[in-house]
Structure 1
C-alpha cells in the first residue's frame, strides 16, 4: 500500500503529512496483522485492511482522544485504542487465537 493510495482513501489533499504517512503505514499494517492474528502481504492488502490503515492514519493525525484533564499540576489522559468505527473494517479478517 503506497502513500498516494492512503491519501486518496483518507481524502488528504496536501503533501504536508507524507513523512508521517511513510512511517505510520507499515506500523498500521503490522498492527492490523496483530489485531487479526493474520499475516498480510503489504503489496496485496484486502480492502478492509486498506480502509483500516487509511482511517487509522487519519485518526492519528488529528489531536483527538483526550479523555480527561485536570487543572492542578496539569494532567492529561488520552485514549490509546482506535475507536470501533475504525477497527470494524478488520473484523472479517480476524482469526481465532489458540493458546
Structure 2
C-alpha cells in the first residue's frame, strides 16, 4: 500500500503530509498484523486492512485524541487507543492467539 492510495482514500489532495504518511503507513500495517495475529503482505492487503490504515492515518493527523486539559502548570492528556469505528475494519482478519 503506497501513500498515494492512502491519500486518495482519505481525500487528501496536497503533498503536505507525504513525509508523515510515508513513515506511518508501514507502522499501521505492522499494528494491524499485531492486532490481528496475522501476517499481511504489504503489496496485497485485504480491503479492511486498507480501510484501517487510511482511517488510522487520518485520525492521527487530527488533534481529536486530546482527552483532557488543565490550565494550572499546563497538563494535556491524550487518548492513545484507536476508536472502535476504526479498528472494526480489522475484526474479520483477527486470528485466535493460543498461548
Confirm or deny a common fold (TM above 0.5): yes
Counterpart in the other structure of 2:52? 52
User: CA RMSD for the aligned pairs?
Assistant: 0.6
Q: Which residue of 1 aligns with 2:61?
A: 61
Matched positions, count: 99
Segments of structure 2 that go 5 or more residues without pairing to the other structure are none
Q: What corresponds to 1:18 in structure 2?
A: 18
C-alpha distance after superposition, 1:3-45 (max 9, x if no partner): 1100011111111000110000000000000000000000000
For normalisation by structure 2, the TM-score amounts to 0.98
CA–CA distance in structure 2, aligned partners of residues 63 and 35 of structure 1: 23
Which 4+ stretches in 1 moved above 6 angstroms? none
State the distance in 2 between where 1:2 and 1:65 align. Answer: 25
